Amino acid sequence: MNITKYILAVSVALVLLYSAKGQSPMGLYFMETIPQSHQINPAMQPRANAFFSLPSVNTLFQSDMAFDDAFQEAGNEWITPLSERFDYSDFYGTIGEVANINQYGDVDILGIGFRSGRDYFTFSLGVRSVMQTGLPSDLFKIAELGFPDGESFDFSSTRIKQALYHELAFGYSREWNDKFTFGLKFKPLFGIVGGVTDIDRFQLNTSRTQWDMMVSGMVYSSAPIDVQEGAPGDFPESIDTRDLSDDEKTDYFKSLSNGGMAFDLGAVYRYDEQLTFSAAITNLGYVRFKDDLNSLSFNGTYSFEGINVEGSDEDEIEQAFEDIADSIKTIIEYDVKHEKFSVPLSPLLYVGGSYRLTPAVTFGLLSRSVFQKNNFRQDFNLSANLQPYNFVALNLNYGVSLNGGNGVGMGTSFLLGPLQLYFAADYIPTSYADVSFDDGDSFPMFYKQKDLSFRFGLNLIFGRHGYRDEPMLAGNR
């Protein structure tokens, strides 16, 4: 469809400029010796007196569907949704009304932090990416039901949100007293490219004699896309991604004109020497795009009375559908504008508690909630943290994602003099098998994987043995 072509053009433009895909692994939340824990909860004060972070990478993938949901195992083979044996009731129970696929990512370029009395100050510079896709369950009903008489399909919940932006983060945390610590982070944002859909109505009604399609909505983009407008009300003559020279790509990345802002808030309550509670809400904000804008509105009803082909000639069928697409270009009312738009961030809520069994062993329980349109995600994470020496820390955790998958995670950090190397991951792939269909070909697949998150990076740690009242190893007091 032509609307799909426009959305695809936006997606391609974003991928060409940036391919890395940010929520940090949940196991990192309780790894107190890694300074990046303050990015999850701004009230968290790193153990080190000061730090300087070197470039690091963080990526997260979330999906309501694993491979074994979209394709189902039947005996020694896998079946597709086109098979009569495919269990659609099980599939719909998994995805709900909308199947969501999310990718987030961070590239931290640099960061610094230092303690001053009861206060801790942090600053970081990074690039953030978000890509969220929502596919309505009615889209999959086409494979199950075809187009029967008297059926109504609603695709209005189709959603795409993409943004690539710079983030500056100014953080401040204060130990208010021996019990409470509060933190705030102010984050100026500068968009590079972005795109978002706003669909009010997208329905298809079928009958024996006629199909009726009703559409209304908008697609916004701020990206290197060239749109050649046609006659008023018609679909554009062409929509093409622009070839950028190296200098033009550099200009895109250096641009600071698409402004926005976000806030993080956090608190830590130390009940006693063993038990600590904490909470944080992050990503309260948006990015406002006003450069290189294209917006496409569509509104109208298209009635289709069938296709007239003889036999099953593929060329004739293909030509018939091309004729339908050409008709939609003129019957649906289109309007190309260049309107400013905002891409809202997806807020995250963290609630956690930790118990210190010994100076070197702690246990933590964390809840993470993600809020986005047509999708509320809830994750729980139980972790064990071990720090046998002040130069090494280990984390082992188990995550449970509602409407998602379960899996183990781990994290580790090492100090080599002032240099700290760290790695953390959630939902590490474990269910692996060779997958084969009825054609006999097989290929390897982590067939139960729905979520994956990992982060790695380097820091320079100053005051590596911890500040005076809270050494890097609690038992070294």
pLDDT for 439 equals: 57
On whether the CB atoms of residues 360 and 475 are closer than 8 A, the answer is yes
Ranges 231-240, 280-289, 321-330, most confident? 280-289
Q: How far is CA 309 from CA 1, 254, 322, in A?
A: 21, 54, 13
Position 33 scores a pLDDT of: 85
What tokens does 170 get?
């100014």
For 309-356, how does the pLDDT look when each residue is reduced to its tens digit (9 = 90+)?
A: 444 455 655 655 666 666 666 667 888 888 999 999 989 999 999 999
Least confident of 20-29, 359-368, 390-399: 20-29
Q: Which of 252-256, 259-263, 376-380 has the highest mean pLDDT?
A: 259-263
**Residue 190 reports pLDDT greater than 80:** yes
The string of pLDDT tens digits covering residues 75-119 is 777 777 777 788 888 888 888 888 888 888 888 999 999 999 999
The pLDDT value given to residue 326: 63
Instruction: Give the type of residue at 272.
Output: D
Mean pLDDT, rounded, for 51-70: 85
Tell me yes or no: is domain 2-476 CATH 1.20.1280: no
Q: What is the mean pLDDT of residues 138-149?
A: 79
Q: By the 8 A CB rule, do 362 and 355 touch?
A: yes
pLDDT (tens digit per residue) in 383-429 = 999 988 778 899 999 988 876 678 899 999 998 888 999 999 988 87
Measured distance CA(155)–CA(342) in Å, rounded: 23
Q: Tell me, what's the pLDDT at 436? A: 63
C-alpha separations of 468 from 47, 118, 190, 334, 464 in Å: 10, 11, 38, 66, 11
